[in-house]
Amino acid sequence: MKGEGIGFGKAILFNEHFVVYGIPAIVSAIGKYTIARVEPYNNSETKLDDNRDATPKYKEDKLKQQRDSLNRMLKAMDIEASKKGVKIELAGNLYAASGIGASAASCVAIARALSEYFNLNLSDDEINNIAYEGEKGYHGTPSGIDNTASTYGGLIWFEKGNPNTMERISLPNPIEIVIGNTGKVADTAVAVAGVRERKEKHHEKYHKIFERARNIAFLARRAFQDEDHEEIGKLMNENHKLLQQIEVSSRELDFLVNIAREYGALGAKLTGGGLGGNMIALTPEKELQEKVANAIEKEGFQTVKTVIGASRGGL
């Protein structure tokens, strides 16, 4: 008896951090994924073997959060860990790093694998809810955007609420992007708490920034529908500026963003929690994607070349 599940990585294209406060965000699954495999284990415990390639120290730094996340998911799925000896293995081609939905991809993959192993026949909506519970172990109060992209794939308009609003944005053609990894493991919970603290302290300043972020989301949605890559790029650049203003960028992120723009990316910004982790560059066409990726790699940083906007079946 075995179970297997898949969860996609993601890139937040607009409004990470702002999304926590009900500002719309746009997120896309990317063409990289985590696979979870579940098999019997001759012990009453749940054993987790994490065989993903990762940023140095990422897995060690996240170990406690990972255990908390798994326990939350087992509870949400009503699986008594003490009675069910299983071994879970994590693999796949999604590099485990901050900012590309590595934790969400693992939560979705594990939920799907456990569902198959225990014959629970859970729907995508149920998998998404369980993965959200798992994300709490990593992020404290996650927005739900990462697990949503990881579960459903494609390009998604997301608004946090009760319930969350999720709408697909259909793209005629997937768009090439480059993801640049600072190599710095970031703690999203710390970044989120910092924004909350500063927002309360500088209410008026932050209100203006957040309203501009809201406007950018609607402009970006229209630009995606029009396939206006130049406009999407400009708005990504402006979104990065807003993220700098709320102090979630870093020296390394800004460095990579500047290199990407210098070598022709239409837009570039941090992606995910910030303070390290990853940035993304909009590079329509393979040739531009190669050029930008090479420039980043020459500086000694790792890149991922992938696409946004492909539906689950197209990844």
| Size of the chain, expressed as the number of residues it contains | 315
Q: Is 187 a catalytic residue?
A: no
Are residues 277 and 289 in contact, defined by beta-carbon separation less than 8 angstroms?
no
Are residues 13 and 116 in contact, defined by beta-carbon separation less than 8 angstroms?
no
Amino acid making up residue 93: N
Nearest to 62 by CA among 98, 111, 105: 98
CA distance 11 to 186: 16
- Write b or e for each residue in 275-303: b if 16 or more Cβ atoms lie within 10 A of its Cβ, otherwise e: bbbbbbbbbbeeebbebbbebbeeeebbb
CA 15 from centroid of its chain's CA atoms: 12
CA distance 140 to 238: 28
Retrieve residue 238's tokens: 């402006």
Active-site option among 53, 146, 187, 254: 146
Residues 6 or more apart in contact with residue 185 via CB below 8 angstroms: 55, 57, 58, 61, 62, 97, 98, 276, 277
Beta-bridge partner residues of 37: 4, 89
CA distance 291 to 294: 5
**Which residues are tagged catalytic?**
146
